[in-house]
Structure formats: C-alpha cells, structure tokens
Structure 1
C-alpha cells in the first residue's frame, strides 16, 4: 500500500506530500487542481510503462507541464494590496514525482533536454520531450542516503551491493526510466519490485456509453478478470466475476442501486455473448443497447471494483459522471467494499459520494483549493 505521494512543479501543483490511507477521496471546487493531481499520479504510472514521453507530449510537452506561477510573491501581493507580478528566482528545470510504500520508495525527476555544449551543430528538435535527470529507489518511509538502494543520475545507474555500489548501466537513454530498462528480478530485484507494483495500478477515468459504443455490443466470450480501461469488455468481466469471483457481492451491489434488479448472460452466437438487465416490474429483460448511460456506467464500476484480481491501487476519476444522486450512496458502499481488498483513490465533485465514503473509518479526505494559481491541500502544511 502507498503511504504517501509527492509531486512538485507540475502545473498548479507546486510542492506537496500527501499522506495516504486505504481509501482516499480527493475533492474541491472546479479549477482547484483535482485533475492535475490525478494526471500527476497517472504520469508516474506511465513512467514504469515506458510511456512518459507520449503522456507528456499528449498534454502539450514538458514546458506546458511545468508550474506556471512565480517562485515568490511580495508581501503587498500576498495581502492583495498590489497587482500580482511575482518573480522567478530561478528558472524551473524539473518536475519531481514520487511515492513511499510498505516496501520501497521511488522518485523521478523529469527535466528539459540539455542544449549542446557551445551551441553544437546538431541540436535536438525534440525539445518538448522530457528527459530523466535522476531516479532513486529506497527502503523505508522516506529517502535517506543510507537507505538508497538504486540511484540513477543522467545515463548512469548504480545498485547497492551490501556496503558498496555496483554500476548497473552507463548508457541509459535520457527518455527511458530505469523501471522500463533495468527491471531484472536477479540483477536488480528492487527495480523489478517497484515496476511490478506500479504496473498493477489501474485507472478508470472515462467510459464511452453513447449508443454506438462497443460496450453496448455483443462481446467475445473470454475470461476477463480485469476490466479494460475503456470498459469494452464489460460483459466478459462481469461473467468472470460471476464464475470465479464474488458473485453474491456483484448481485448485491446491483440490487443495492436498483432494488429488485439482477443481471444474466446470454449467448448471441458461439464466440460472443451479451448481458440482460432484469428489473422488477418489467416483463422482459433490457439489453445493453437499452440501458441508460447511468445504469451502464454503474455496471462498469461494479466490474472495475469487484475484479477477481484486485490491483495494489485502483484510481477512479469522477466516477459519479452520469449517475443520479440516488445511486451515489450505493456507489459509496461498493467503493468501501473494494477498499477492503485494495487501496482506492477517488477524485470526485459529488458531495453525496464524499459523505458516503467518509463513513469508512480509514477514509482519508483530501480537500483541494487554490490561491494565486497554486493548489493547496488540507492534509499537510505543504502547498501543492
């Protein structure tokens, strides 16, 4: 389980260390930085998958990802007695991301490409791509030189062997993380363990539920213990829960939201099947094509949260989308049930859902707000 998450110099997130619990819910007004916090966690996940360059490029490149505000304000500016000008004491050159967990801690610094010495004749044109400045893996709750197990500076990485260090690589590409390049269970077991942990994280932030969505079509009948990020294999995931997972919990979660309702499965033809939604008072079941967006999204969340193969971290971004407020208490109970099996991180606008989640004894409520362009959290004395 993650014990803390940290990010600095990323968009409105200037500097933060957030303590984490088994169930974490992030809330706050529009524009307070919830999406930036979610994106920073997802960016850290992309590091281990080797997708960090494309992930940052998708959002406009490394320059667009940097903290956009000044590094300091005058007293008059802070008191609102003069227009905010601010100043940069020095140019920002890196974004820092990291976490600590029960076993290891990990951090990475992403920066700008270094200009050629003397204005060389062949400068890179990939100036929007981040480069890895440094990476560390350590044992314990926080970094100390004595607890560091793996240290990467620029293209070189070394691994601790007893009381000494052994150089493990000297020519790592500047755009590749050691997690994607050195994850060898024999030579660097710490790197392998951290990569395996991050690889197990799951993110669900958008489901396409329009009438032409593939979710509404008959699906290939193959065992699916993990719902895909876009939910296209919903029927297979629910059927897998029915056969090898928490069948009673799944039906209970559905009837909790829709009293008297249940689901069943039907073969369309040999290799494909579909789902039928049985509802009290109706003479026939409803097909996937007939379900409302809210009902379909709730079924998708059931499949994600009751996976027979729970991840080490499950992240839901605005799961209340398209759901009627009456469904939010049931969704809260479903999320709490999942939190007994895995660590959960929820980003939400819906106060009804937040109230439901706060019934959980280990709920860690993180409220964000923004002042002078900088996001603040109520959980620490640090500023994001």
Structure 2
C-alpha cells in the first residue's frame, strides 16, 4: 500500500505556493474564508489526474480563470496550477513523486494551439519519479504532448501522438503490464475517498434503501450506506464497533439492520420508543449525517486515504467527542485527513488520537498553515 507523505500545491485559488506533510492523522482547523476547502479540493484534483477527469473537473468549477491564483505573479511567471504528491511504499522503502501542471490554452495569432477548446484547461507537464534508497528514476516525463514513459523493462517509449492536451498521461496509460509503476500510483490515488457535506434532504441517497451488494467501503456520496451496514452485520457478522459508535452518540439507541433481500436497509431504535424502529426518512439531519460518517470510518475495509471536509456540519456540539473518537479510531487503520471549523472537534481528536491540529490562516490573500516552514515541514517536527 502506498501512503501519502507530502502534498505541494501552487497557483490554485488561494494557494499561492504551499507544501505540507501528510501524517497518519492530519487535522487542519480554521475559520471561514481561510482556504481550508481549497486544500481539500487540491487533493481531489490530484485524484482526478489519476481518474482522467482533471481538466473536466477544473472546467466544472468555473474554468482556469476561476481556479487560478488571483494575486500577483512574478514577471514572466506562467499562469499554471501545479499539483504534486509523494507516495511511499513503506514495505520496500520506495517513494513515488507525481507532479502535474495545468495551464491555459495557448493562442497563436488568434487561433487555438493544440486540440482543445478555447477556454479548456490543458495539461502542460507531468512527471512521475521513483526513488529507491537514494537513487531516482524518471518513469514518466511529459512536456506538452511530447515526452516518454518507461515500460516494465525500464526502456523509454514515446508517449505518442494519441494523448490529447486535455488528458493526463497518468489517467490515460492503461497498460498495467507495460507500466507497473504508473498502474500502482494510479490505483493508489483512485482508491482515495472524499467525504464532504453528505446530503440529508428528502431526496438524499442516505434516506433510501440501496441494492444488497457486499460493500466493504462507503461511496463518497454515502449512497450505499445501508449496504455498508448490512456487510458489517451479515457478512462480517460483527457490529461491535458501529454499535459502540451509535451508543456513544445516542445513548441506549441501537442500529437495526434487517437481513437484506434485493435491497439493504437500516433503522434506529431509540430508548424513548423501544417498540418502534425509525427508518432513515424519519431521522434528523444530524443523526443521519453522523451515521454516514460512522459508515465511512468503520467499514469492513477502509480505503488507503480518507479526506473529510467539515464532518461536524449539522451535528450537535455534544456529538463532537463521539465524532473525534471515530476519527481517531479510523486513523489506526488508514490515513485520515480532515479540515474543520470546530476547535472542539480538533481538541477531541488531539485527546483521543494524539494528533495536534494545524491552524489554517490567510495572509495577504494567501492560504497558509501556522508553524509550516518553507521547506514543507512543521516547526515542531523540525525541532524534534
């Protein structure tokens, strides 16, 4: 399994240029408008480079004009977004460093240069480097549409002419046999899960039954929550952790998961009405959202990396401690990264998981993290 060790972002919204380490449990806390969500979104865009949707996702959030750093640039500095991550294969002491740069469509004499629409984001450069015991080998190197990739035997091969300027090589080179290192990085990135603002309106997928299919990992939108609970109850036949999480949040309440037919469902039995089971359409927004977060963090199998964006939304303050326990518990099985408004939640995670929160601030329009040095480490870590 590849674990995330650091992330670098430049030129993206309020992220002028920042590099930060990623720990087993990373907590970032800050107020509205500091750019916390931009940190989270940058991680989503790294995954999009692996799934092949990077330029589409940038176009969907307003295009390059909206996504680019809006502050001053140095003279001659290109208007580009740069995303980079280092992934470590701890079992064999290997580091994979992936970088992608996205820019505007180049115009030449009023005409668009390259196979792209005028306002589309374009991939300008990509590189994947493998470092093993101090030795570095470039696996993928791309500048525009030209470049090379190394095959499984280490031989350089041209990227060819089929790769469009709007496509990432990481998401387009599909031959796992020919490019095992690229396949390994792509698999690692596509396995990440992002959970942000689970819908709890009347039409939310959380409130509906889902197909009864063995589901070890919750989908990002929570649409298979009932199947996740059914997998714990009837496949693993162990609901100890989820029962404890429910009881910690709602004392003496019990999660009820019927044996599935074609569909899986669940309900909640509460002490005030012991003879009745409350189905998801009857549950409060906060109760349903807490159950969704619990499903994301206590599934049969967790993804290698879970990112949470303000998981405390709509939750009562009394639920901050149970939520903190959930997050700390999950971090013992996988990497958990989150941004939050709640200082109470951050303090609870520090108490239960030992991860000290990092404060996100904004200075001169630029998002920064207190204690972060220019070398990409936190000051207290360098002192240690």
Greater Cα offset, 290-299 or 131-140: 131-140
Equivalent residue, structure 2, for 1:20: 22
Structure 1 position 383, deviation (Å): 10
Given the alignment of the two structures, is residue 95 of structure 1 paired with residue 81 of structure 2, yes or no? yes
CA change 1:361–1:336 in 2 (3 A) is closer
Give the Cα–Cα distance (whole angstroms) in 2 for the partners of residues 292 and 383 of structure 1: 45
Given the alignment of the two structures, is residue 252 of structure 1 paired with residue 238 of structure 2, yes or no? no
Given the alignment of the two structures, is residue 310 of structure 1 paired with residue 302 of structure 2, yes or no? yes
Provide TM-score, normalisation by structure 1.
0.88
Q: How does 1:1-384 map to 2 (within 5 A)?
A: 1-71=3-73, 88-103=74-89, 104-116=96-108, 118-120=109-111, 126-140=117-131, 146-160=136-150, 166-171=156-161, 172-245=163-236, 247-266=239-258, 270-283=261-274, 284-360=276-352, 363=355, 365-382=357-374
**What stretches of structure 1 of length at least 5 have no aligned partner?**
72-87
CA change 1:162–1:122 in 2 (3 A) is closer
Runs of 4+ aligned residues of structure 1 deviating over 6 Å after TM superposition are 121-125, 161-164
Structure 1 position 43, deviation (Å): 0.9
Residue by residue over 1:87-141, the C-alpha shift from the partner in whole angstroms, topping out at 9 and shown as x without a partner, is x52353211101112131111111112223x445988772322111111111239
Structure 1 position 361, deviation (Å): 5.3
The answer as to whether partners of 1:294 and 1:324 remain within 8 angstroms in 2 is yes
**What stretches of structure 2 of length at least 5 have no aligned partner?**
90-95, 377-384
Greater Cα offset, 5-14 or 238-247: 238-247
| Alignment length (residue pairs) | 365
CA change 1:309–1:337 in 2 (3 A) is same
The answer as to whether partners of 2:202 and 2:281 remain within 8 angstroms in 1 is yes
Greater Cα offset, 309-318 or 120-129: 120-129
SS at match of 2:265: strand
Give the Cα–Cα distance (whole angstroms) in 1 for the partners of residues 112 and 244 of structure 2: 67
Residue by residue over 1:137-162, the C-alpha shift from the partner in whole angstroms, topping out at 9 and shown as x without a partner, is 112399x9944232122213323479
Give the Cα–Cα distance (whole angstroms) in 2 for the partners of residues 37 and 122 of structure 1: 31
SS at match of 2:243: helix
Provide TM-score, normalisation by structure 2.
0.88
